Protein backbone atom coordinates (compact mmCIF):
# COMPACT_ATOMS: atom_id res chain seq x y z
CA UNK A 1 0.00 0.00 0.00
CA UNK A 2 2.84 2.38 0.79
CA UNK A 3 4.43 1.80 -2.61
CA UNK A 4 1.14 2.62 -4.30
CA UNK A 5 0.78 5.64 -2.03
CA UNK A 6 4.08 7.03 -3.33
CA UNK A 7 3.02 6.29 -6.90
CA UNK A 8 -0.54 7.61 -6.74
CA UNK A 9 -1.15 9.27 -3.39
CA UNK A 10 -4.65 10.59 -4.11
CA UNK A 11 -6.25 7.35 -5.29
CA UNK A 12 -4.79 5.19 -2.54
CA UNK A 13 -5.61 7.64 0.24
CA UNK A 14 -9.23 7.80 -0.90
CA UNK A 15 -9.62 4.03 -1.29
CA UNK A 16 -7.82 3.39 2.02
CA UNK A 17 -10.16 5.87 3.64
CA UNK A 18 -13.22 4.05 2.30
CA UNK A 19 -11.98 0.64 3.44
CA UNK A 20 -11.15 1.99 6.88
CA UNK A 21 -14.59 3.55 7.28
CA UNK A 22 -16.35 0.37 6.11
CA UNK A 23 -14.49 -1.57 8.77
CA UNK A 24 -15.40 1.00 11.44
CA UNK A 25 -19.02 0.97 10.27
CA UNK A 26 -19.25 -2.78 10.89
CA UNK A 27 -18.01 -2.27 14.44
CA UNK A 28 -20.33 0.70 14.91
CA UNK A 29 -23.39 -1.40 14.06
CA UNK A 30 -22.91 -3.20 17.37
CA UNK A 31 -22.98 0.14 19.20
CA UNK A 32 -25.59 2.65 18.05
CA UNK A 33 -23.77 5.41 19.94
CA UNK A 34 -20.63 4.86 17.87
CA UNK A 35 -22.68 4.95 14.68
CA UNK A 36 -22.95 8.71 15.00
CA UNK A 37 -19.20 9.01 15.56
CA UNK A 38 -18.60 6.97 12.40
CA UNK A 39 -20.73 9.39 10.37
CA UNK A 40 -18.66 12.29 11.67
CA UNK A 41 -15.42 10.51 10.77
CA UNK A 42 -16.74 9.63 7.31
CA UNK A 43 -17.62 13.27 6.62
CA UNK A 44 -14.17 14.41 7.73
CA UNK A 45 -12.55 11.65 5.71
CA UNK A 46 -14.40 12.65 2.54
CA UNK A 47 -13.44 16.31 2.88
CA UNK A 48 -9.83 15.27 3.53
CA UNK A 49 -9.76 13.16 0.36
CA UNK A 50 -11.32 15.94 -1.71
CA UNK A 51 -8.71 18.37 -0.41
CA UNK A 52 -5.98 16.26 -2.00
CA UNK A 53 -7.40 16.22 -5.52
One-character DSSP codes across 16-38:
HHHHHHHHHHHHHHH-HHHHHHH
pLDDT score recorded for residue 25: 74
- Stated pTM of the model: 0.27
Residues 7-53 have pLDDT tens digits of 555 555 556 666 677 777 777 666 655 445 555 555 555 555 454 54
The domain limits of the chain are: 2-52
Whether residue 1 has pLDDT greater than 50: no
Residue 4: its pLDDT value, please? 45
Residue 2, pLDDT score: 43
Amino acid sequence: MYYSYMFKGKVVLISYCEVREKHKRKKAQAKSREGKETEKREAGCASFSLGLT
